[in-house]
Amino acid sequence: MKFKSAKHQGFTLIELLVVISIIALLIAILLPSLAKAKELANRAVCSANVRGIIQSMVVYAQSNEDQFPTVVTPASSASYVNGAGTPTTGVNASAPAVISAMYTTPVQQGNVMACMWLLVLNGQMTPKSFICPSDPLATTPSDEFNTTTEYYSNFGMVSGSATASTSGQGESYSIACPWFNNGTSAVVGSWWNDNAATSDLPLVSDMAPTSGSTGGAAARITTTPQANTYGPYIYNSGNHGGDGQNVGFGDDHVTWETNPYCGQASDNIFTYVTTTTGGSGATTSAQTAVTPGTLPGITTDIAPYDICMLPCRNVSTGAW
């Protein structure tokens, strides 16, 4: 007796569409989770970078009268305080020779990124350690030297050149402004010292944002969370999509902060306090955002310190 074999049939169009729809749904569900996992991993790397910077600052201070890395006191105009400056090469210059020149060369005055570059020249860190993997703008580490005997003196040199588009390209982090105005000139603040470093003193963070007065990606309203109507992206660093920033403190612990109000007095670390006197003689204080190219008007040198992170960068355009 012969049995007829069942005729094999393929998928119908409806069955195929159902399968495709299920796969598409699973991908839609999975992709955000993968993106979130990647960002969490990037935050961990960023946190390690911030901690490494602080630890290197401590090592540097131990050989420099307890003072964290600082170039020459800024000029009154502080024209380089937020800019990348002009990285230069020495003529057959060793790293120690470049370090020595950075304390006397006017072009380095007020340049906070030159302060951090001292850690590279001192052999304590590599340029790659200053790149946050979530930073959409600073993606290429700065060149450390042109040849083994010609060392650069700042961030921004990429493939041996510095242009407006690459200036500061290799830097993702900000440090507490090292200087304050004592009424006569700008001098190094007491907080920029290993002896003053405490568990509540912010020293390093993801790149500070520039200020602004309107909404949009480039705006930076840095007053209070309650006054902000544009969402957290407005006043947070741009390194992590505006979700927050890693902040490192004096005892080298690092925390993830969803807003910048983590100063010693729970104030905004991306602003500084200004005091104005009204017609009646009464004084009022307010948080003020940093203007790129100028030195924050920090006028107090007692704890709780008025910490303000520099340099700052426009997240939309990358302008310093």
State both tokens at 29.
């569900």
Q: Given this model, what pLDDT does residue 13 score?
A: 79
Domain that holds residue 283: 41-313
Across residues 67-84, what is the average pLDDT?
69
User: Does the CA dihedral 103-83-120-158 come out positive or negative?
Assistant: negative
pLDDT value at 221 more than 50: no
Contacts (Cβ under 8 Å, ≥6 apart) of 318: 137
Per-residue pLDDT at 217: 37
Question: Is 31 a member of any domain?
Answer: no
What's the predicted TM-score (pTM) here? 0.81
Residue 155 lies in a domain: yes
Mean pLDDT is highest, among 31-35, 41-45, 297-301, for 41-45
User: For residue 125, is it within any domain?
Assistant: yes
**Is residue 308 a part of any domain in this protein?**
yes
Higher local confidence (pLDDT), 32 or 192: 192
- Full 3-state SS string of 74-122: CCCCCCCCCCCCCCCECCCCCHHHHHHHHCCCHHHCCCHHHHHHHHHHC
Q: Is residue 73 part of a domain?
A: yes
Q: Is residue 275 part of a domain?
A: yes
**What's the total number of domains in the chain?**
1
Q: Give a yes or no: residue 242 inside a domain.
A: yes
Which segment of 46-55, 115-124, 257-266 scores lowest on mean pLDDT? 257-266
Q: What is the pLDDT of residues 259-290, one digit of tens each?
A: 888 999 888 898 888 765 555 655 556 667 77
Q: With respect to residue 12, please indicate whether it lies within any of the assigned structural domains.
A: no
Side chain identity, residue 112:
V
Q: What is the dihedral of CA 232, 238, 243, 249, to 10 degrees?
A: -100
**β pairing state of 173-176 and 202-206:** antiparallel
